[in-house]
């Protein structure tokens, strides 16, 4: 969350490198944050990133 607050977005690869975890672990952690409505998934295919959930996304639900 600190990284997201600082940079506005993050990729799973950055989590892997920063915390020395497997890609599956990084993805599961990100999915957990999505379920908690803290972040949203953006992009698609090989270009996926995650951002803090803003007010505009909250109004879409």
Dihedral sign computed on CA atoms, order 31, 38, 10, 14: negative
pLDDT in the model for residue 35: 97
pTM comes to 0.78
Nearest by Cα to 56 from 4, 42, 16, 19: 42
CATH fit for domain 2-60, picks 3.40.50.620, 1.10.10.10, 3.30.450.40, 3.40.50.960: 1.10.10.10
pLDDT in the model for residue 60: 52
Q: Where are the domains of the chain?
A: 2-60
Contacting residues for 12 by C-beta, under 8 A, at least 6 apart: 23, 26, 27, 30, 48, 50
Q: What is the pLDDT of residues 2-54, one digit of tens each?
A: 888 888 899 999 999 999 999 999 999 999 999 999 999 999 998 999 999 87
């Amino acid at each position: 969350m600190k990284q997201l607050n600082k940079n506005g977005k993050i990729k799973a690869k950055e989590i892997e490198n920063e915390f020395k975890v497997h890609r599956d672990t990084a993805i599961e952690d990100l999915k957990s944050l999505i379920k908690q409505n803290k972040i949203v998934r953006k992009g698609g295919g090989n270009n996926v990133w995650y951002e803090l959930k803003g007010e505009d996304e909250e109004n879409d639900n």
